Amino acid sequence: MEATDARRLFASARVARMATAGPHMVPITFAIEDDVVFTAVDHKPKRTTALKRLENIERDPRVSLLADHYEEDWTALWWARADGTAVVHEHHPHAVELLRRRYAQYADRPPEGPVIEVTVERWSGWAAAPADGP
């Protein structure tokens, strides 16, 4: 799969999973601008504010993001991965605005926690059928 197709499929997904060193993997909401993916710590309940993903990124900024589509019709399956380097920002108003535009749930209650900015260095993916989709 071409990188442009992988990026387009990734962008069409509503959620992805972020893997940091450890290994440690969590589901995320995200917004994309060019080859940068943003995600933020939001108001959904968490056991602690000292999140393992933030600690891992500070220690080793390499991350992988994976989005996929599953349905019983296996000719429609696909996955797309973004490998890159992450930076944690305490405040990033532009990223929060991108997230607010993408998710209605953030319209009235935008994320207030740290923002993770991932500069994607490699897009890859696979699709059971040619990537004509979203």
Q: b/e map of 84-102 (b: 16 or more CB within 10 Å)?
A: bebebeeebeebbebbbeb
What's the CA gap between 62 and 86, in Å, rounded?
Answer: 6
Ranges of residues in the chain with a pLDDT under 50 are: none
- Sheet with strand 78-89: strands edge to edge: 24-28, 16-20, 62-69, 78-89, 115-127, 36-40, 31-33
Phi, psi for residue 36 in degrees, rounded to 5: -125, 130
What's the pLDDT at 131? 61
What's the CA gap between 89 and 92, in Å, rounded?
Answer: 6
- This model's pTM is above 0.85: yes
What's the pLDDT at 61? 97
What's the pLDDT at 72? 93
Neighbours of 1 (CB within 10 A): 16
